[in-house]
Structure 1
Amino acid sequence: MKIVAVQNPPNVDALIERFGSRELPFVLDSSRSNDGLGQWSFFGANPFLVFSGKDGEYVERPTLNAQRRTLNGDGLQLLRALMAGYVLENESGIPFVGGAVGFLAYDYGRQIEALPEQTVDDRGLPDMHFGFYDGIAALNHQTGELSLIALGIRADEDLVLAELQAIITDASMSTNSPPPQHGGWEWNIERGAYLQAVERVRSYIASGDVYQVNLSQRAKCRYEGCPIQLYQALRAGNPAPYSALIRSDAFTVLSTSPEQFLRKQGRLIETRPIKGTRPRGASEEENARNAEALRRSEKDRAELLMIVDLERNDLGRVAEFGSVHVEHLYRQEHYARVIHQTAQVKATLAEGKDVFDCIHALFPGGSITGAPKVRAMEVIEEIESTRRGVYTGSVGYIGFDGNAELNIAIRSLHLKDGYLDYQVGGGIVWDSEPESEYQETLDKGRAIRETVDALCQTS
């Protein structure tokens, strides 16, 4: 492994343009720092291998030749076996120096839990998609230092470093594209039907089936334009510590998520659920009132506590006995359009367990399913009409050094076959009021909707 510090590095927007315009790029972008989150951003392109597929059938595709291999089985187990060939030690102080970058769609949960198949798969997205990168750029937002990192897997380290240097200095890779255009937004469920769905969940709660279910709806429009322009507008309009851009030949995933699914650093593991949301106010006084209303809401506090207990149980499956603990319960985080209530659940990983065991134990995140998790997922499958795709799955990295950080893919969009969509939801409990729950989904999607509308010329 070789690491080179760059003198007078380009700014983040330039790095996004220059890497995002290359072959099969990624951006893992911390465009907002909350409570120590958001110190690093990572950029890469030209993976030496792509692993992608769904429903137990995956393709391993080396990018240096046309040979590909079909693999059948559990996606996480197959990914673990592939990554075992590239294990490395990382003592650089940089949390990610190379590895697999991509996503697990929410629907990968079908590989973990036996669920009925009632929702329509109308987008045909993979349930797991990762590129293997042996050359990346790492930006430390606290120091302003940009590091170029080469592992020497695909090619000699010096050659990879030269390629990275060429990318960051190539000012011709700009996105001077015509303004994007989009058609009218359409929801996949009418307002009245969503209100009825909330009542349906409440009936399950009344009968003792579940305590909480995360219910969502999806907005879609025709879209024509440059994905990089769209991503830059989204990160500016809704800065978040877990933003991401993943581009493949067939689709683009864009995320401006505030929520952490999993961080593993050595034997430290943690998750950071969000439950409880209020809109930002138009003035400081209104903002303070909304924050105080969230702080005093017994419903929102109960929702968060329920999910924290679920996450404690999930972490406990892979943690050293007695190490699971909760920090910063009911902490508030302020974003561009909303205020969120959060907590941190931390533990020490048990001996003999690895990052893939962690993902298997926690996925999908409890904050976006409900409790009990499996029954809540069954109710989601019954009530929601279409598969979620990457929404409420996880986007991020799994390093060759065994460390990882992935988000919960909320505030996230898919761009595929000329359509752009985003999905928003909320946790339904017995105290939920259907109108309030419906409005909460609109509040959560407001930053996305306003950003896209402002960027585009409506066709």
Structure 2
Amino acid sequence: MIYPDINEIKKLAAHYTVIPVVKTVLADTETPVSVWLKLFKKEKYSFLLESVVGGDTVARYSFLGGDPFMTFAARATSWEINGALTDSGTTDPIGRLRSLLSAYQSPRLSNLPRFTGGAVGFFSYDSIRLWEHIPDKNPKEDPLDDIFFAFYKDLIAFDNKEHRLLLISNIVVTPDTDLDAAYRQSLYNIGVMEDKMAVRLMSHSISVEPQSEPVSNFAREEFENAVNKSKEYIKAGDIFQVVISQRFAVKVNADPFDLYRTLRVVNPSPYMFYLSLGETAVVGASPEMLVRIDDGTIEVRPIAGTCRRGKTEKEDDELVRVLVNDPKERAEHIMLVDLGRNDVGRVSEYGSVHVEEMMHIEKYSHVNHIVSNVYGTLRSDKDIFDALFSCFPAGTLSGAPKIRAMEIIDELEKVKRGLYGGALGYIDFSGNIDTCIVIRTIVYNQGTALIQAGAGLVADSVPSREYQETVDKASAQFSAIKRAAEISGTN
């Protein structure tokens, strides 16, 4: 079935500038991984977004796409569109991105997933300096832009519940658009997707050469000294909490998509993502939403309080019991929920901010987390960018108060954070956004995998425990690399 038909499209074109044309096909022998390998493996830019909620339930839709019609990349105050440096007479890349997105408005059609076209990409942690005066003394040692988004009008939604594919090709409407011709083009684009899907996928074994041991940019003693210095700032009243991180580098020869294949098994998470960005790939399995806005409802989900998983169910239950009764962990979580309420409250209708499922436990492959949900209703004079930047970066990755915490992070950490602690996800053409906090992530470039993890520090933090927490948080990524190498060695 193809939906909507040309008559409905002509009606919608009077009100919208982007209209999805969708064909549904059976896909009971496919997986999101097989679809990506068939359609998008050879594309310079592509994405795969998946989700496992509640620790073990696959979300209804996975999203895949390649060959964007536009890319936007920014470093500091300069930016490129489709790889060409742009000089528009301003130094506001966020304003430029906001302007680009404003040209596209798409309807929310019934029986379709939330995301039917839009921009997929990220804001790095360091992009905060575009709207806040944060010190900038550390070198940049990662290959990524500060901001990157690729605009997709052709994509696939994989329906995990009904075992079907929604092949989507959007019509971009301009005053000169011949709608009949544009509709035929969308049908042709969908046909190309079907033809590629019909090709038999050759066996695709994991190809990862054995890796080196992870090397941190902190010696253990240095990290513990940074913890003690942070505690001095806390006792002096500068801050209540701060997140200090260390970055690990692992040498590994790999097809980065193979790292994603193993990470999604080792650490299934609410936000699993693979972004192909030319020579660089971003591979992640984040448990934590930054901000989601759906039809004006803002949602953030603070995660603060972590313990390792037990080797048995009994040990796991005991570790959770200790975690939820730990005064330090409870105080840290409550403080960050309050920070989330304040962030959401700045852009929400008065009286609409509320908390649901306060301090519940979510279990992941290697750790347990304490989680709460904060909601609000977006004010009519604010947009998705206002909401995103009100919550950015997350307090769970910076601290409280945020600005002073970020100043201390710049002082105590050794390099720019890059993508770690930033936001990754999509902004759709209907004015909605869904982003995660970039943690539990591998940035892979030319044989090197970068992995970063941090610990939330408060007045009674124990340096040795905080160091170990960062190692525990990075362990899923280490395990994915190791497992990929082991599987490769048996092929």
Which one of the candidate residues 262, 266, 282 is aligned to 2:295? 266
Shift of 1:146: 2.3
Matches of 2:451 and 2:39 in 1, distance apart?
24
Could you say which residue in structure 2 is the equivalent of 1:395?
Answer: 424
Q: Does 1:145 align with 2:164?
A: yes
Quick one: percent identity of the two aligned structures? 34
Matches of 2:21 and 2:355 in 1, distance apart?
38
Asked if the contact 1:221–1:419 (Cα under 8 Å) also holds between the matched residues in 2, the reply is yes
The amino acid that maps onto 1:87 is: Q
Asked if the contact 1:271–1:345 (Cα under 8 Å) also holds between the matched residues in 2, the reply is yes
* Deviation string, structure 1 residues 75-130 (Cα, Å, up to 9, x no partner): 32211101112211122341100000011111111112111112110124201111
SS in 2 for 1:116: coil
Matches of 2:256 and 2:349 in 1, distance apart?
43
Q: Does 1:369 align with 2:388?
A: no
Could you say which residue in structure 2 is the equivalent of 1:444?
Answer: 473
Shift of 1:158: 1.1
For residues 140-219 of structure 1, the aligned pairs below 5 Å read 140-153=159-172, 156-172=185-201, 175-176=204-205, 178-219=207-248
Q: Does 1:79 align with 2:108?
A: no
Which one of the candidate residues 273, 297, 312 is aligned to 2:341? 312
Deviates further, 260-269 or 119-128: 119-128
**CA shift in 2, pair 1:68/1:168, >3 Å:** farther
Asked if the contact 2:302–2:371 (Cα under 8 Å) also holds between the matched residues in 1, the reply is yes
Shift of 1:35: 9.8
Could you say which residue in structure 1 is the equivalent of 2:131?
Answer: 112
Matches of 2:270 and 2:481 in 1, distance apart?
20
For residues 342-421 of structure 1, the aligned pairs below 5 Å read 342-421=371-450
Matches of 1:282 and 1:248 in 2, distance apart?
38
SS in 2 for 1:151: strand
Matches of 1:204 and 1:173 in 2, distance apart?
57
Could you say which residue in structure 1 is the equivalent of 2:76?
Answer: 55
Asked if the contact 2:52–2:268 (Cα under 8 Å) also holds between the matched residues in 1, the reply is yes
**CA shift in 2, pair 1:274/1:20, >3 Å:** farther
**CA shift in 2, pair 1:44/1:408, >3 Å:** same
Could you say which residue in structure 1 is the equivalent of 2:3?
Answer: none
Shift of 1:36: 8.1
The number of equivalent residue pairs is 455
* Deviation string, structure 1 residues 138-160 (Cα, Å, up to 9, x no partner): 12333333211111239631122
Could you say which residue in structure 2 is the equivalent of 1:241?
Answer: 270
SS in 1 for 2:252: strand
Which one of the candidate residues 61, 66, 87 is aligned to 1:45? 66
Could you say which residue in structure 2 is the equivalent of 1:102?
Answer: 121
Matches of 2:98 and 2:198 in 1, distance apart?
35
Q: Does 1:14 align with 2:43?
A: no
SS in 1 for 2:72: strand
Which one of the candidate residues 297, 309, 315 is aligned to 2:326? 297
SS in 1 for 2:119: strand
**CA shift in 2, pair 1:281/1:368, >3 Å:** same
Deviates further, 105-114 or 16-25: 16-25
Asked if the contact 1:28–1:43 (Cα under 8 Å) also holds between the matched residues in 2, the reply is yes
* Deviation string, structure 1 residues 397-436 (Cα, Å, up to 9, x no partner): 0001101101011101111232111001110000111111
SS in 2 for 1:25: strand
**CA shift in 2, pair 1:35/1:361, >3 Å:** farther
Matches of 2:81 and 2:197 in 1, distance apart?
29
Asked if the contact 2:216–2:247 (Cα under 8 Å) also holds between the matched residues in 1, the reply is yes
Matches of 2:94 and 2:353 in 1, distance apart?
24
Deviates further, 310-319 or 141-150: 141-150
Matches of 2:86 and 2:25 in 1, distance apart?
38
Matches of 1:173 and 1:90 in 2, distance apart?
37
* Deviation string, structure 1 residues 16-49 (Cα, Å, up to 9, x no partner): 3234403111011114445988332110000000
Asked if the contact 1:276–1:301 (Cα under 8 Å) also holds between the matched residues in 2, the reply is yes
List runs of 5+ in structure 1 lacking aligned partners: none
SS in 1 for 2:82: strand
Deviates further, 163-172 or 351-360: 163-172
Larger radius of gyration: 2
**CA shift in 2, pair 1:52/1:287, >3 Å:** same
Matches of 2:46 and 2:54 in 1, distance apart?
23
SS in 1 for 2:237: coil
Matches of 1:187 and 1:230 in 2, distance apart?
20
Could you say which residue in structure 2 is the equivalent of 1:422?
Answer: 451
Shift of 1:345: 0.7
Shift of 1:446: 1.3
**CA shift in 2, pair 1:34/1:70, >3 Å:** farther
Asked if the contact 2:227–2:244 (Cα under 8 Å) also holds between the matched residues in 1, the reply is yes
Deviates further, 4-13 or 311-320: 4-13
Deviates further, 70-79 or 284-293: 70-79
Shift of 1:362: 1.2
The amino acid that maps onto 1:51 is: F
Asked if the contact 1:105–1:393 (Cα under 8 Å) also holds between the matched residues in 2, the reply is yes
Deviates further, 143-152 or 177-186: 177-186
TM-score (norm 2): 0.88
Q: Which runs of 4+ in 1 moved over 6 A?
A: none
Asked if the contact 2:56–2:268 (Cα under 8 Å) also holds between the matched residues in 1, the reply is no
**CA shift in 2, pair 1:178/1:232, >3 Å:** closer
The amino acid that maps onto 1:97 is: T
List runs of 5+ in structure 2 lacking aligned partners: 1-19, 174-181
Shift of 1:198: 0.4
**CA shift in 2, pair 1:448/1:35, >3 Å:** closer
Matches of 2:39 and 2:139 in 1, distance apart?
34
Which one of the candidate residues 147, 151, 154 is aligned to 1:135? 154
